[in-house]
Chain A
Amino acid sequence: MENTPLSVSAASALVNQTLEYAFPVLLVEGEINSFKINRDKYVFFDVKDDEASLGCFMTVWQLRMPLEDGMKVQVVATPKLTAWGKFSLTVREVRPIGEGSIKRSSELLRTKLEKEGLFSEERKKSLPKLPRSIGLIASAESAGYVDFLTILGSRWGGMEITVANVQVQGVGAAEQIINAIEYFNHLDVKPELLVMVRGGGSADDLAVFNDEPLVRAVALSSLPILTGIGHEIDTSLVDLVADVRAATPSNAAERLVPDKREILRHVEVSSIRLAEILERQTVKIAEKVVLFKERGLRRLALRLQQSKHEFAYRTQLLEGLNPSAILGRGYAILRAVDGTALGPKQVGAIRIGDSLQIELKTHILSVGVKNVEQKT
């Protein structure tokens, strides 16, 4: 044998080289055991299954969620042989997986942040009443994003929405969302508020919203943040620290702006009431005119008569504008499928094949467009 013997350090280095070459990164799933933090800096724990166990090492600043023995975790790590011959996984990322572990981890974090006062009502900012500009943080392919924008658009118009397209689950998502929050907060011209939405998902899918650095970033945002994450029952730590929490992405749109259809209805009702009041008044005035004439107060009677005409004229005007009166005269109201009335400005966007609603005095028809011809 002609092999030159290696020194111990060389042997160790050789093994490490081989490991680095063969396994640059390992993804391992197992249960945490013997978790401890030394000197507030160094984190040691074993990750194990029924038959084997591997030691892990990381620094405390890499911990994005609290961990404890018994939790199931996924570890992204590089295998290493330490100078003292201990085989260890140097952890790049670790996160709890599975509903039980995620829940436990977020409970631990919740207690910690609650003590710091991060969830207190005093910290929460109120949302602007009718925002003109919004920063939206979401995944532009997700259902939550579509739901939010659809409901928002049917309720209110004239807003400018800038979208930060980010991942909303999995590795790297938390950092992306943090970057998006900081991006909006440091713009020269900032939006009036930020909205963070994502649709429903499993505990694993939603785990990113319990990530400690992300929760802190939401708390520190100087722009108010409205969240609409998951389903009604999903409450993440980001929800708790947000300025306003909506139950879902759709609910976020409802909390943010009023429904213009309701306001229009209210205005319609108001003008009908006004017309009724004026009609009553016209009758009263007519009675007064008769009275004045009887008492020989001719000039007063004349003036009142004039007012009555003016009232009647205006009542007619009002009724003319009142949609039910219009319908009564045989005209129809054209609406889109969602009920929005289509005025002259919107008619240009109608295409063959579109579905429309026609409201008549007594019926509502659902129709399809066969042909569109612009009058010259």
Chain B
Amino acid sequence: MSNKKPEPANLQTQLKQLDDLLTWFERDDFDVEAALAKYDEGMKLVSAIEDRLQLVENKVEVLKKRFDQGT
């Protein structure tokens, strides 16, 4: 059992950031310099999100403990 702080909170944030970025771009008359920086940021987000989602399988452990005698 893991007691690490759940990293998926970042995934939610990353997805939100990607959506916000798109909204920014949709304004259509954006500043060109700013756009380049934002674009690079967007590409990094896409990569990071895809990496996180290609994650390994789930780890399943069936306890050997029997539950028909009191804990």
Report yes or no: B6 in contact with A183, Cβ–Cβ below 8 A.
Answer: no
Query: Does A153 sit at the interface, judged by CB under 8 A?
Result: yes
Given the complex, which residues of B lie within 8 Å of A270, measured CB to CB? 18-19, 22, 46
Task: Determine which of A158, A278, A317 lies in contact with B56 in the assembled complex, contact meaning CB atoms within 8 Å.
Answer: A158
Task: Determine which of B4, B22, B67, B69 lies in contact with A180 in the assembled complex, contact meaning CB atoms within 8 Å.
Answer: B67
Given the complex, which residues of B lie within 8 Å of A167, measured CB to CB? 68
Interface string of B53-71 (1 = CB under 8 A from A): 1111111111101011111
Task: Determine which of B12, B58, B68 lies in contact with A176 in the assembled complex, contact meaning CB atoms within 8 Å.
Answer: B68
Given the complex, which residues of B lie within 8 Å of A192, measured CB to CB? 6
Instruction: Please give me the residue from chain A that is nearest to B19 by CB atom.
Output: A270
Given the complex, which residues of A lie within 8 Å of B65, measured CB to CB? 164, 183
Report yes or no: B63 in contact with A158, Cβ–Cβ below 8 A.
Answer: no
Interface string of A261-302 (1 = CB under 8 A from B): 001101100110110011011000100000000000000000
Task: Determine which of B1, B11, B68 lies in contact with A162 in the assembled complex, contact meaning CB atoms within 8 Å.
Answer: B1
With A130-B11, A267-B50 as known contacts, state yes or no: A280 contacts B59, CB within 8 Å: no
Report yes or no: B8 in contact with A129, Cβ–Cβ below 8 A.
Answer: yes
Interface string of B1-39 (1 = CB under 8 A from A): 111101111011001001101100110101011011001
Tell me which of A304-312, A331-339, A358-366 binds B.
Answer: A304-312
Q: Which residues of A contact B (CB under 8 A)?
A: 128-133, 140, 149, 152-153, 156-167, 172, 175-177, 179-180, 182-183, 186-187, 189-192, 260, 263-264, 266-267, 270-271, 273-274, 277-278, 280-281, 285, 304, 307, 310-311, 314, 317-318, 321, 343, 345
Q: Which residues of B contact A (CB under 8 A)?
A: 1-4, 6-9, 11-12, 15, 18-19, 21-22, 25-26, 28, 30, 32-33, 35-36, 39-40, 42-43, 46, 49-50, 53-63, 65, 67-71
